Amino acid sequence: MSISSSLSRRAGLLLAATLLCAGAARADTPYLGEIRCGLWNFAPRGWALTNGQILPINQNQALFSLLGTNYGGDGRVNFALPNLRGRVAIGAGQGPGLSLYTVGQAGGSETMTLGPDQLPAHSHAVALPGSAGEGNAQSPASLAPAAQARTTLYAAPGNPALAMAPAAVSSTGGGQPFNRMQPFLPLTCVIALQGIFPTRD
């Protein structure tokens, strides 16, 4: 092998190694605005916690150009980072049969209270004191409030509805909100303040 071919081969290997190292370094460099989650309890250097904090635009112009005011801020002096505390990230857009979600939109709640409009359609049995088997079944007149005259219990259609006796149909439940959180495991989520500016293909 000649000296020139040996040098060319070494130069080629050196160039390949350089490109390989450059590619590895690029792969380790995050995209600006990229979000990652980890087990640490702090934001590493070049990253910030996704806790909705306000940042000045003049010190983070590239990041502001990507986030805008989707997550808050006035858009003149400052902007906000996403706030993932107590929230689950979902993909933006609209899938078949799904609701439309836009970037930066927040919603949902940890608890809720069911009202009559949220309950499935159902009926309650009317309770009469006593039963036929006991031989002391009460007449339908016992559905009326005690103060109402028995002679006016049944009225012609069109008359105002009258309240029933409290014991006729009872209500139950405390009206307390209930937890509707899915099983979860908290992690520390951070957003890249430095990195490669993402470009569209």
Task: Report yes or no on whether pTM surpasses 0.75.
Answer: no
Beta bridge pairs of residue 35: 191
How many residues in total does the chain contain? 201
Determine the Cα–Cα distance for residues 116 and 42; give it in Å rounded to an integer. Answer: 45
What does the pLDDT look like over 39-96, one tens digit per residue? Answer: 999 999 999 999 999 999 999 999 999 999 999 999 999 999 999 999 999 999 999 9
Determine the Cα–Cα distance for residues 35 and 129; give it in Å rounded to an integer. Answer: 65
Determine the Cα–Cα distance for residues 47 and 173; give it in Å rounded to an integer. Answer: 48
Determine the Cα–Cα distance for residues 14 and 20; give it in Å rounded to an integer. Answer: 10
